[in-house]
Amino acid sequence: MEHNISILFYARTVRKTRDNLVPIYLRITINGERLEHTTKRYVEASKWSNKAGKMKGTQAEARAFNSFLDAIRNKVHATERELMQDRKVITYQVFKEKWFGVDVKHYMILTVFQQHNEQVAHLVGKDFSAATLQRYRTSLDHTRNYIQWKYKLPDLDINKLNYEFINDYAFWLKSKRNCNHNSTMKYLANFKKIVLLCIKNGWLQKDPFIGFKLTKKEVERPFLTAAELQEIAAKQFKTLRLGLVRDIFLFSCYTGLAYADVKKLKRTEIAAGVDGEQWIFTKRQKTKTSSRIPLLPTSLQLLIRYKDHPECVNGRLMPILSNQKMNAYLKEIADTCGIDKNLTFHIARHTFATTVTLSNGVPIETVSKMLGHTNLRTTQHYAKILDIKVSEDMKALRERLGYKS
């Protein structure tokens, strides 16, 4: 990052001594901000040249005085060089601390980010998932590359964080990394956690995100229609593996559980609910919030089908594969069933919220509770009211209005 330093020696005539001498002051201007202090030297006002910034004449007294000033000027340049050699961004505050020898600890963005990630790594399986750790590692890599791109530095002092940094970071993610808007907002949200960490520790005085809106754009969330769900359920597959993946996918469609929650689901988490029927009592891995889900007949049948499976003898409910393999097989299932959608495991959760529950008259508050959401706004992102449900509601309204008239 470019900087600008200028040096000026001047006489402060308003502070004359009893001997009619004026003190000579040093003014260092760093990027437009002034650092001033006395040189502890005095001269007769008539012997000082404000234009030249030195003592007039060529006599021994003048030469010695001006040599002293040159030594101070050289010290300023030496301080500047040392900061540059340390690859520090030269600001007024950084230069001032260096000049006066103030021992202030500077916290660097990437260093703090790395320490944060190391703590997350030690808590994987307790407070964080492996996916969360990977997300923060990717965000750290993006931040490192952005700083190198914008500042040509290996790291940056957190005090350089401002609105310009955040705004340009968003531009870099979209233009250089080709991230879409919502992905950009996710990476910036990850970075904001590091910023808030610095603020809470008292290392950063002002939030650089003030004035910057971390808003995501609404996107169409895919889900399966009732006909597509039935097509997948009725399909006979040639390989056992495709049938297994289909069954696990259907189980998620009828419970609303995410991949990670189905994978960790234990037989001990199935118990009788308030109505005497079988319910799932679990906690979502992502948010640690409780989910209580009554098991529909389809879900119960699937559990019975796999209760004696070799991979379920240890208490697991479903012999689930890795998420990557599941999604690869789901694409094959979609092709086999003639479904023109990018079928992924997460679509099952959307299908539960829309096709299975909301479109069949289940209130959104109930759906939100089963999904393990803490507020309805989150559920509304998953749950799209289908046209057929709107049609049914309006049909009922017409009948009521017709009856009244």
What are the start-end ranges of the H helices in 58-162?
60-85, 92-100, 109-122, 130-151
Of 25-29, 45-49, 102-106, 224-228, the one with minimum mean pLDDT is 102-106
Which amino acid is present at 172? W
pLDDT in tens, 116-135: 999 999 998 788 878 889 99
Which pLDDT belongs to residue 404?
Answer: 52
Which pLDDT belongs to residue 405?
Answer: 46
Helices 92-100 and 60-85, axial angle in degrees (round to 10): 120
Which pLDDT belongs to residue 83?
Answer: 85
Question: So what's the architecture of 226-393 in CATH?
Answer: Orthogonal Bundle (1.10)
The model's pTM: 0.59
Which pLDDT belongs to residue 116?
Answer: 96
Which pLDDT belongs to residue 115?
Answer: 95
The CA distance from 342 to 192, in Å, is: 32
- 3 vs 380, higher pLDDT: 3
pLDDT in tens, 62-74: 999 999 999 999 9
Which pLDDT belongs to residue 201?
Answer: 86
If DSSP codes are grouped into helix, strand and coil, which group holds residue 289?
A: coil
Mean pLDDT of 238-265: 91
**Residues 6+ positions from 54 with CB-CB distance below 8 Å:** 9, 48, 62, 65, 66, 69
Which pLDDT belongs to residue 394?
Answer: 83
Instruction: Say whether pLDDT at 160 is over 80.
Output: yes
Of 205-209, 258-262, 282-286, 339-343, the one with minimum mean pLDDT is 282-286
- 379 vs 167, higher pLDDT: 167
Q: Which two tokens stand for residue 264?
A: 């960790």
The CA distance from 337 to 233, in Å, is: 10
CB 376 within 8 A of CB 368: yes
Percent above pLDDT 70 for the chain: 96
Mean pLDDT of 332-341: 92
- 100 vs 249, higher pLDDT: 249
pLDDT band of residue 284 (cuts 50, 70, 90) is confident
Of 25-29, 137-141, 255-259, 388-392, the one with minimum mean pLDDT is 388-392
The CA distance from 380 to 346, in Å, is: 16
Which pLDDT belongs to residue 128?
Answer: 83
Mean pLDDT of 385-396: 73
* Per-domain boundaries in the chain: 5-100, 109-200, 226-393
Which pLDDT belongs to residue 131?
Answer: 81
Average pLDDT, the chain: 88
Which pLDDT belongs to residue 67?
Answer: 94
Mean pLDDT of 330-349: 91
pLDDT in tens, 360-384: 888 888 988 898 887 887 777 766 6
Instruction: Say whether pLDDT at 191 is over 90.
Output: yes
CB 182 within 8 A of CB 217: yes
Percent above pLDDT 90 for the chain: 51
Mean pLDDT of 76-95: 85
